[in-house]
Amino acid sequence: MKRSLCLLLLTTALAGGNEPGRPLPESEAERAELEKRLDATWAGLPLEAKARLIRLHGALNDMPPGDRRFIHDRVERFLNMPPEERERLRQNREKWEKMSPEEREQARQEFRKRREEFERQWRAEHPGEEPPPFRPQRRPRPNVEPPP
């Protein structure tokens, strides 16, 4: 819950910068209600969370617009992500954390190899065009059952 509130405030801070966000309510009553809800949320946060958000907001404001847009897009992507994809990301993170440095390097090399093969195929099929970002194919693993 607190993580969601922090993300809400972070997104509000991002949108409040020089980036286009959701339009603010037009009527005074709607604006007052929004301000009341945001103030209540802020008041409910512990001091550490407030300090972290202020630090993040300052860092975002100091970023070049392109970098700030990149961060904003990633936060929006996460907020709009379906629960299944969030779970898959969580499982990937846990798996990565359990890997030894050698296993991580091996996984990186395998990824690079697949990416290079993808780019080679793309350039053969689309001469003169830059390949799109590489998205590895999800292969079902024998020890993990796919979701229903």
pLDDT, position 21: 55
Q: How many domains does the chain have?
A: 2
Alpha-carbon distance of 28 to 35, in angstroms, equals: 10
Q: What integer pLDDT is reported at residue 38 of this predicted model? A: 93
Angle, alpha carbons 103-108-113 (nearest 5°): 125
Do 75 and 87 fall within a single domain? Answer: no
pLDDT value at position 60? Answer: 92
pLDDT in tens, 23-54: 777 889 999 999 999 999 999 999 999 999 99
- The whole domain housing 89 covers 83-125
Does some domain include residue 140?
no
48-107: pLDDT as tens digits: 999 999 999 999 999 999 999 999 999 999 999 999 999 999 999 999 999 999 999 999
Please report whether residue 145 resides in a domain: no
DSSP string, 57-81: HHHHHHS-HHHHHHHHHHHHHHHT-
Are residues 8 and 45 located together in one domain of the fold?
A: yes
What are 41's two structure tokens? Answer: 């949320």
Q: Each residue of 15-53: b (16+ CB within 10 Å) or e? A: bebeeeeeeeeeeeeeeeeeeeeeeeeeeebeeebeeeb
Same domain assignment for residues 27 and 68: yes
CB atoms within 10 A of CB 57: 17
